[in-house]
Amino acid sequence: MSQSGGVLSDAVLVARKDLLLERRAKIGIGQVLPFAILVLLLFAFALDPDRGILKLATPGLFWVTVLFSAVLTLQRSFALEAEDGILEALRLSGMSPAGIYLGKVTALTIELLLLEAVLVLGVAVLYDTKFLGIPLLFAIALLATLGIAGAGAVYGALAARLRSRETLLPLLLLPLLAPVLIAATRGCEVSLEREAMSGWSWAALLGIFALVYLTLGSFLFRPLLEDA
């Protein structure tokens, strides 16, 4: 049925389109990133920087900030598609739904990884965190972000056409991402040498999560585009 290329070329096309839009509109850099840094500051106001709580809780605070920013990024990413019947146009374009899904996920992952890179610097400066175990940290960031984007794209597309999407998306998405928050936080604690347990088992759990949701999303995106 698909007249254009395969799933992968569709994915590349959609991802490039999203990244181009982001480069031009600069919503991520202009709005989401300042919001994320603001959250880091708010945590500092709430938790008194002198008592050492910030330093102890850095991995958790970092990932909570990433989750909040991911909700905003997702809303932006799918609000683009929901306007002017673009989702219908995508459906009629002959592109494979799995390709569209993987393209959205790729663009989201790249945007969120860039955001995380800046946030890591923010945490290092604001919370005085020293980073160790860089390979593990990198693996955890990549796998967790893939999972967030993979699960998020399914619910982002589902909520996009609903009038109550702003309130509904966090309600649907955040409990789903609870295991990502747990695994990413604990894994980072290991890489910051706060926990003795091997961090790679957390990375493996994040990998399984990402794999499950990417597979599920690739299959569910067709009914999602056609009916939901």
Which of 20, 89, 125, 178 touches other proteins by CB under 8 A? 178
The widest CA-to-CA distance across the chain, in whole angstroms, is: 62
> CA–CA separation, 91 vs 226, rounded Å?
7
The neighbour count for residue 121, using CB atoms within 10 Å, is 11
Query: Which residue's CB is nearer to other proteins, number 33 or number 224?
Result: 224
Task: Check binding of 228 to other proteins (CB under 8 A).
Answer: yes
Which of 67, 151, 192, 214 touches other proteins by CB under 8 A? 151
Nearest by Cα to 73 from 139, 119, 120: 119
Q: In Å, how far from its chain's centre is CA 24?
A: 20
> CA–CA separation, 134 vs 199, rounded Å?
12
Q: How many residues comprise the chain?
A: 228
Task: Check binding of 203 to other proteins (CB under 8 A).
Answer: no
Provide the minimum distance between the beta carbon of 163 and other proteins in the complex, in angstroms, as a whole number: 8
Residue 195, token pair as written in the block:
């926990």
Task: Check binding of 220 to other proteins (CB under 8 A).
Answer: yes
Which of 36, 72, 183, 214 touches other proteins by CB under 8 A? 183
Task: Check binding of 164 to other proteins (CB under 8 A).
Answer: yes
Cβ 101 vs Cβ 18: under 8 Å: no
Provide the minimum distance between the beta carbon of 22 and other proteins in the complex, in angstroms, as a whole number: 26
Task: Check binding of 64 to other proteins (CB under 8 A).
Answer: no
DSSP 94: T
Cβ 152 vs Cβ 215: under 8 Å: no
Query: Which residue's CB is nearer to other proteins, number 22 or number 81?
Result: 81
- The binding site for other proteins (CB under 8 A) comprises 151, 154-155, 158, 162, 164, 168, 171-172, 175-176, 178-179, 182-183, 186, 195, 197, 201-202, 205, 208-209, 212-213, 216, 220, 223-224, 226-228
